[in-house]
Amino acid sequence: MISIKDIANQVGTSPSTVSRVVNGKKYVNAGKREQILKVIAETGYVPDKAARSMVLRRSFTVGIVLPDTFNMFQRQLFSIIERHLDSFGYHTMFFFVKFDGSSEEEFLSRLKSEKLDGIILLQEIQGANFYDYVAKVNIPVVMATFNRDNLASIHVNEEQAAYDGVTHLINLGHRKINMITGSGFSFGLQRAKGFIRAMEAAGMEQAADRITFVQYYTAEFGMYGMREHLLRGRDFTAVFAATDELAVGAMRVLKDEGIPVPEDVSVVGFDDIDISSYIIPRLTTIRQPLDKIGEQTALTLHKCITGAGVNAADMILPHKLIIRESTAPPKKAP
């Protein structure tokens, strides 16, 4: 079996120089690096991960915490993060957590039995015990699409993004706007704040009464939310949904009830997942920079693990309103 020492002998350099190239370290002459990489490719050398872990005292394993029921946006984001982690040489270990205290405690118990280099949260953990533990054992944590004091966070300005989506409807002439959002996760509440702020800025009082909270952010619960709004009566011309999947579910119910979108009801979503540009009508939505969030989440954690960026950073990335076919001015009263 080929070893680092064998590669060093072929290139005419030291094993430590070869090791720096293998581990992606700097301070290697460009010409020498190219020679080493060429020999690695020719020999088919594969690093001994066990030996590498022992030398660097790292497991090269990252824990990814996911909700037990996760939506399309989280699936897309997870895939991007995992791809970038793989490019840094990390394995991934999954933890599926429900949005309740007992599930979080079970997760924490399992976490304590594992040796991880770092943790990425795609599920927002509420209990203080988790945060106390990771601080005590000094495990780097990065939150993707959430933010919390003293932790590295990669996200958009949720409240402002929602404000912009609702303002788009207001600028079209809508005044009776309802909202569907989830009851869990801070981002849902922040988006509700943006909805209320936009409505109140336009002089519409009691905006909070126009919000329906559902359990999850999926299409199925978007259907539940829209049915709830219809049961209260057709006193709305537009709906702002806290996720695209909620919007898709809402549009399904409107279609079933013979209520055309956007002719009778305009709909705005949030996230700009892949399906948003394929459904009929195509969905107006708030675009989160999915690729950038995934890339920066993996990169930030890698920097924290390797000591290249040990300080927590709250990175706010730009959002963008994507106007498609699901929004139009409201019908004029006859």
Q: pLDDT tens for residues 58-75?
A: 668 899 998 887 778 888
For residue 330, tell me if it sits in a domain.
no
- Same domain assignment for residues 194 and 237: yes
Q: Are residues 165 and 276 in the same domain?
A: yes
Residue 331: inside a domain: no
- Domain shared by 88 and 207, yes or no: no
298 and 259 in one domain?
A: no
Q: Is residue 197 part of a domain?
A: yes
Query: Last residue of a domain, which of 288, 308, 329?
Result: 288
Is 38 a domain residue? Answer: yes
Q: 3-class DSSP state for residue 67?
A: strand
The pLDDT score that the predictor gives to residue 163 is 98
Residues 148 and 175 in one domain: no
Residue 310 has pLDDT above 60, yes or no: no
pLDDT bucket at 56, cuts 50 / 70 / 90: very low
Mean pLDDT for the stretch of residues 98-122: 88
Considering the domain architecture, whether residues 186 and 251 belong to the same structural domain is answered as yes
Distance CA 210, CA 149 (A): 31
Question: Does the structure show a pLDDT above 60 at 333?
Answer: no
- Shared domain for 82 and 165, answered yes or no, is no
The 10s digit of each residue's pLDDT in 259-275 is 999 999 999 999 999 99
Q: Are residues 204 and 277 in the same domain?
A: yes
CATH number, position 75: 3.40.50.2300
Domain that includes residue 10, residue range: 4-55
66-70, 283-287, 302-306 — which one is most confidently predicted on average? 283-287
Query: Does residue 261 sit within a domain?
Result: yes
Report pLDDT digits (tens) over 140-154: 999 998 888 778 899
Question: In terms of C-beta density within 10 A (0-12 exposed, 13-18 middle, 19 or more buried), how is residue 100 classed?
Answer: exposed
CA-nearest of 106, 102, 126 to 183 is 126
Q: What percent of the chain has pLDDT over 70?
A: 91
Full-model pTM:
0.80
**119-143 per-position pLDDT tens digit:** 999 988 888 899 999 989 889 999 9
User: Does residue 129 sit in the same domain as residue 247?
Assistant: no
Pair type for strands 320-322 and 284-287: antiparallel
Residue 81 sits in the same domain as residue 139? yes
Tokens 């976490």 -> residue? 111
- Whether residues 221 and 163 fall in one domain: yes
Domain count, the chain: 3
**Are 280 and 200 part of one and the same domain?**
yes
